[in-house]
Amino acid sequence: MSIIYVLIPIAIIFVMIGIAIFFWAVRSKQFDDLDKEGFSILFNEKPATTTKPEDQQPPQSRES
């Protein structure tokens, strides 16, 4: 029974921390535009440039 006196304050502290994190996220505009980041990868403005690294070039034949 005495464990309840410990668990209830711990649970209240966790709830208060969760509420504080939620209000911080809302104030820092974490939830403003959820769709923008999802679509930004689909509509890239700059084309990706690919180059072959020197390690990936075909080996040259050795003539001895």
pLDDT at 51 over 90: no
Are 31 and 25 a contacting pair, CB within 8 Å? yes
Tell me what pLDDT residue 43 has: 72
Q: How confident is the model at residue 18 (pLDDT cuts 50, 70, 90)?
A: very high
For residues 30 and 22, give the distance between their C-alpha atoms in angstroms, rounded to a whole number.
Answer: 10
DSSP class of 1: -
Contacts of 31 (CB under 8 A, 6+ apart): 25
User: What separation in angstroms does the CA of 64 have from each of 40, 49, 59, 60, 61?
Assistant: 54, 38, 15, 13, 10
